[in-house]
Structure 1
């Protein structure tokens, strides 16, 4: 009888002291291989990577001149920007939530930014691929 009473009191105390824990939602960088047609690695984004990507897109100084930006080789990397940033330059005036970096095997790398759902704009990549490879712990070239 005492055992049942103590168990009931213990359960009531636990129920009244429940705490709601809010988990922080993490965003992940995805490295996609078009040959395998799948994401081959995910990396949790952090402030260092976020600042590096923001620095790259703030230095945009031209449009990618190739006619067909879709490549069947190399890698595509999706960088979510947390928080989203307002990008305002000669070519864009929009809020950027994510940036895609396309690294083809035989062409120079470039960014893809969706201005709206229907409009895609490509920009040359001026960053250092080796630095990015080290940060992502993945051999890109």
Structure 2
């Protein structure tokens, strides 16, 4: 009986361990017009590296009144491990980011600070979307999503 209890506790610890959960986090692709997640895929080191590039390319605050477009795609990426985002607008440790690919516009990012405040940032216009498209297995064309 004690052996079974110990074995159960070990298995439960492994299943609910934060490192195991982090590896199981999914990248979600949300279609804005449809209002639902149309694809999810495991987060990979390539996606994490690309997400870091997007965060480092922040070059301004997104200033449109309504930051969510009527059409396009939002890609939610859990950041494993959380990344330090530090620029003239924000200093935080982000554990998740969203890349918004509006139909007919350039992509931009949404992140939360430590207090769950939402921030929208523009990114460098030369940033290529083809790598992210390839990693996610979807079509993302800058300015034509």
- Normalised TM-score (structure 2): 0.78
Larger radius of gyration: 1
User: Partners in 1 of 2:76 and 2:108 — Cα distance?
Assistant: 12
SS of alignment partner, residue 88 of structure 2: coil
Please list every run of 5 or more consecutive structure 1 residues that lacks an aligned counterpart in the other structure. Answer: 1-11
Please list every run of 5 or more consecutive structure 2 residues that lacks an aligned counterpart in the other structure. Answer: none
Structure 1 residue 53: Cα displacement: 0.6
* Residues paired across the two proteins, number: 128
* Structure 1 stretch displaced more, 50-59 or 96-105: 50-59
What is the aligned partner in structure 2 of residue 42 from structure 1?
Answer: 40
SS of alignment partner, residue 133 of structure 2: helix
Measured against aligned partners, the alpha-carbon deviations of 1:7-28 in whole angstroms (never above 9, x if no partner) come to xxxxx8x859947332422110
Spell out the pairing of 1:1-141 with structure 2 (5 A cutoff).
15=4, 18=7, 20-21=10-11, 22-23=14-15, 24-25=20-21, 26-115=24-113, 116-117=115-116, 119-126=117-124, 127-141=127-141
* Structure 1 stretch displaced more, 44-53 or 125-134: 125-134
Query: Would the alpha carbon gap of residues 16 and 74 (structure 1) be closer, same or farther in structure 2, given more than 3 Å must change?
Result: closer
- Normalised TM-score (structure 1): 0.80
